[in-house]
A and B are shown apart, each in its own frame.
Chain A
Amino acid sequence: MSIIEFQGLTKEYKDVVAVRNLTASVEAGRITGFLGPNGAGKSTALKCLLSLAAPTSGTALIRGAKYENLVNPLKEVGAVIETGGFNPSLSGLKNLRIIAASAGIPDARALEVLELVDLTDARNKKVKQYSMGMKQRLSLATAILGEPEILVLDEPANGLDPIGIAWLREFLKKLAASGHSILISSHQLAEMQNTVDDVLIIHKGRLITQGSMSSVVGNGSLEEAFIRLVEASA
């Protein structure tokens, strides 16, 4: 069953077509890697999916509805889009409480998620004093704040050191094991190969391929398949 669907999604910015007639879907209960070179349109497609950008044409739906029409979005979809979204002068805990309040989520949940992302000790530290890795963890804490079944993560491993990446891998595996559906964009192909079930590759805004990891990769590595597919589509 498809939980996320892009149907002929196109997004143009003046003369640039960032996403071109993208039609793809993400299956429930699986981790799907959303891959593509820099400027492929991944982030734009995800912003359209999350109603942060308006599509020029086509639609991006979550459980058959636009994100903006979800009754309580944070309780249905958790998202990490760019490392930001926080007031740097406030502590991680206060930032989470602000977001929790907007979705009617109890304050106690903010402490719970900080513990889940190993930020309990830094809860009262200002976000501007956080390292990149800590900010990524805080973003992930925000994503799971409303206990959503679906997670949309745009480059969550950006800026993480090897320990942070290992932590993220385990974190995602735990979420997947508990039945979450995850759409994750990343450049780290080796990491993706170990983490995701399905792959969705776009280049220059167009879908190149979509399928299970084994069907896309075959006997080689994800990196080899990725380079081959991207070059073939150029």
Chain B
Amino acid sequence: MNLLKSEFRKLVYTRSFYGYIAGAIFLALLSSIPAAFSVNALKAQLSGSSLMDPQMVDGVYGKATGGYLFALIMGIAIMGNEFQNGQAISTFLATPKRIKVLYSKLIVAAGAGIIMMLISTVLGFVGAYFGLSYYSHAKVGSSTFFSLIIAAVVSGAVLAIMGVAIGALVRNVKIAMGGAVIWLQVVEKLIVLFWITGGKYLPSGLIVRNDECKNHPEVTAEIS
């Protein structure tokens, strides 16, 4: 418990932690608010589907989980900063059994990732709701809130843990973070572009709940 408390303090004392949460919220809103407008603009290509279609609306709300990138970045920072600052020395002097340190970091990262994704996803829902509310014909309710919350919780934990692992392997925080951003925002999108069903095997596929992908792959590609 002492070590968990210490790792928790390392996180909440650092201003960047709040920056990561703000970033996740920003990305969630950036993904969710325009999603309704994108679907409406593309309705001609959607074989008759529109914002009255529950699957389309679910897809719009699904964009609320768009802040996941910051769970990964935070995980990298939790581990990487330890080595970058030389803080690892005082950590290992207090807790020489390194595996305990690693477990504590994983637990704290997972918890923080969950909190981050819960906050950003709920605010993303609000953003999606306002986007949908712009259209009087849109169906603003969704049956997927619960499953999206579960997806956000799981992905927040898993991606933060993955971040800790990346931070342990790549000691340079900037390179690790840059690599993670390029992978999630460029490489994965290129992979999905050429192999659309392969998205579910990629880290971001963990969260981006592309139910609509089965029926409207072209829309998913456009609004993401």
Contact = CB atoms under 8 A, between A and B. Distances in A.
B94 interface: yes
A94 B81 CA distance: 16
Which 8 interchain pairs have the tightest Cβ spacing?
A: A84-B86, A102-B6, A85-B90, A68-B96, A102-B94, A101-B6, A85-B89, A51-B96
Given A94-B13, A97-B9, A84 B96 contact: no
Interface stretch (A74-82, A166-174, A214-222): A74-82
B2 interface: yes
A102 B91 contact: yes
B93 interface: yes
Given A87-B87, A89-B15, A52 B93 contact: yes
A137 to B, nearest CB: 15
Interface string A84-98: 111111100011011
B95 interface: yes
A50 interface: yes
11 contacts: A50-B93, A51-B96, A67-B96, A73-B95, A74-B94, A81-B93, A85-B87, A85-B88, A86-B87, A87-B10, A89-B14
Nearest to B101: A102
Contacts of A202: none
Contacts, number: 75
Given A68-B96, A85-B90, A88-B85, A102 B14 contact: no
B200 interface: no
B89 A99 contact: no
B80 to A, nearest CB: 12
B57 to A, nearest CB: 43
A227 interface: no
A104 interface: yes
A52 B97 CA distance: 10
B89 A81 contact: yes
A101 B9 contact: yes
A226 to B, nearest CB: 28
Given A68-B97, A73-B94, A84 B14 contact: no
A65 B9 CA distance: 30
B13 A98 contact: yes
A86 B90 contact: yes
A52 B9 CA distance: 23
B85 A103 contact: no
Contacts of B91: 102
A142 interface: yes
Interface in A118-142: 142
B86 A73 contact: no
Given A94-B13, A99-B6, A102-B2, A74 B93 contact: yes
Contacts of B94: 73-74, 99, 102-103
Contact of B85 (A51, A68, A86, A104): A86
B43 interface: no
B9 A84 contact: no
A73 B61 CA distance: 51
Nearest to A143: B93
Contacts of B96: 50-51, 67-68, 70, 73
Nearest to B88: A85
B86 A85 contact: yes
A2 to B, nearest CB: 21
Nearest to B3: A102
Given A90-B13, A102-B2, A102-B95, 15 more contacts: A52-B93, A70-B96, A73-B94, A73-B95, A73-B96, A79-B93, A86-B87, A87-B13, A87-B81, A97-B9, A98-B10, A99-B94, A101-B2, A101-B9, A102-B94
